[in-house]
Structure 1
Amino acid sequence: MSRTFAYCRVSTVEQSTDNQVAAIERAIGHLVEPHRIVSETISGSVQAMERPAFKAMVEHKLEPGDTLVVLKLDRLGRDNIDVQQTITKLSEAGVKVVSLDLPAQDLASSEGKLLLQMFAAFAEFERNRIRERTQEGLERAKRQGKKLGRPVAKDTTEKVQRLKAQGLSQSQAAAQAGLGIATVKRHWNAR
């Protein structure tokens, strides 16, 4: 017998998954049993299989023949590659994946796979454009004489040199000055 699970995710504790659950239930035309609604509060930057609730659902609840429903594709994975890997993993396990924001809602169908491939192409294009704009911005800033990188506190070198002169090790100096060890090492032999 086929069971329906809903996965809902929000990024902050100020948000709630209630709207996602209600929208999913309206769209599929029946209530999802409460124990089959998996909700979690975790950043979208975390890969799907590194999210505790999602991973537990995939590894311990979903069975072949089940359907996993998400309101939007971005709830399912960190980026296009993560989404595709997650859908492949679920499809290979016999789980049907449905994203309600797409024209072809069954992502394991031929139409769903085509949509995912098109999204992958657009995502790669956008990543390349962001990279190009970032490089252009960095080059413009350099031409304008702007110093790039983290600002250096003017007294950091003095502070590190003073602690070094007191005979402290680099790790002791870092702890006492409240600095990271990498910062201390950068300023250790500076003049």
Structure 2
Amino acid sequence: MTPTAKTVLYVRVSTAGQTSDHQLTQARAAGYEIKDNHVITDHGVSGVKTVLKERDQGRRLYDLLQPGDTLLVRWVDRLGRTYSDVKQVIEHFNAMGVTVKTVINNMTFEADYKLEDPTLRAARDAILAFMSAIAEADAKAKAEARQAGIDHVKASPDAKRKYRGKPPSFDRATFAQVQNMLSQDGVTISEIAREAGISRQTVHRIKDDPVKAEEALTRWGM
């Protein structure tokens, strides 16, 4: 690594109740020196539905990381949950000279310039393909288990009372504010998200399916 090289920890937490603190603590306990301003966190973002470069903070990595840097994640599923997404992201950063490491099991995917030997590069790529497949299989298994639980609850006699789904990340006033701003010419999704205090993904959900957003508010008595 060059004298100016840095280690950047990327954290993705999918629910409001989760924080990045435990992942940072775990990384530091593993021996990584990470400055507070080198922790990039995406809150409330689905790794299945949103690729890294489309996440609010994930996009920062593409500007922040430089050749010689290290991108650290708890596990490869933080970067994506499908085989193609995980593989594409790590290959992109490796090609630009960034090494990708995981806290769990201390997996290392070296930057291309560090692997002049084609055999070593082939070994790295084989491990990357395997880990990417594992991430997708794990995501699929969890999704199927979740759906099975949802189907079970929906089939119960008091399903309407019990099953309301995930509570909306916005209230009715915010919903109205977003709809009003969406009707204005020249207002970007990022501007709406910043003004309303919600994520870009939430703005997109309201924009793409306002009826569904309204139904969620009603289910939760909001």
Question: Considering the TM-score relative to the shorter chain, is it more than 0.5?
Answer: yes
State the match for 2:41 in structure 1: 39
- The answer as to whether partners of 2:76 and 2:132 remain within 8 angstroms in 1 is no
Name the CA distance, whole Å, in 1 between partners of 2:105 and 2:125: 12
CA deviation digits over 1:35-76, x for unaligned, max 9?
111011111121111112011121x21111100100111111
State the match for 1:115 in structure 2: 127
How far is the alpha carbon of 1:25 from its aligned partner? 1.2
Paired AA for residue 70 in structure 1: V
CA deviation digits over 1:118-172, x for unaligned, max 9?
2455678x59x98xx9xxxxxxxxxxxxxxxxxxxxxxxxxxxxxxxxxxxxxxx
TM-score scaled by structure 1? 0.58
Paired AA for residue 38 in structure 1: I
Secondary structure, aligned partner of 2:107: coil
Q: Structure 1 residues 11-20 or 70-79, which shifts more?
A: 70-79
TM-score scaled by structure 2? 0.51
Name the CA distance, whole Å, in 2 between partners of 1:74 and 1:120: 8
- The answer as to whether partners of 2:82 and 2:133 remain within 8 angstroms in 1 is no
Larger radius of gyration, structure 1 or 2? Answer: 1
Tell me the percent identity: 30
Paired AA for residue 77 in structure 1: G
Tell me whether 1:72 sits opposite 2:84 in the alignment: no
How far is the alpha carbon of 1:107 from its aligned partner? 5.4
Secondary structure, aligned partner of 2:57: helix
- The answer as to whether partners of 1:44 and 1:75 remain within 8 angstroms in 2 is yes
State the match for 2:92 in structure 1: 89
State the match for 2:60 in structure 1: 56
State which of 72, 97, 107 in structure 2 corresponds to 1:104.
107
Distance 1:10 1:80, change over 3 A: same
Paired AA for residue 54 in structure 2: E
CA deviation digits over 1:11-55, x for unaligned, max 9?
01111110001111111x243111111011111121111112011
Q: Which runs of 5+ in 1 are unaligned?
A: 134-178, 181-191
Secondary structure, aligned partner of 1:98: strand
Within-5 A mapping of 1:153-168: none
Name the CA distance, whole Å, in 2 between partners of 1:120 and 1:11: 19
- The answer as to whether partners of 1:47 and 1:82 remain within 8 angstroms in 2 is yes
- The answer as to whether partners of 1:104 and 1:115 remain within 8 angstroms in 2 is no
Name the CA distance, whole Å, in 2 between partners of 1:61 and 1:121: 27
State the match for 1:14 in structure 2: 17
Distance 1:88 1:105, change over 3 A: same
Distance 1:122 1:76, change over 3 A: closer
Equivalent residues, number: 129
State the match for 1:186 in structure 2: none
How far is the alpha carbon of 1:84 from its aligned partner? 0.5
State the match for 1:139 in structure 2: none
Q: Which runs of 5+ in 2 are unaligned?
A: 112-119, 145-210, 213-222
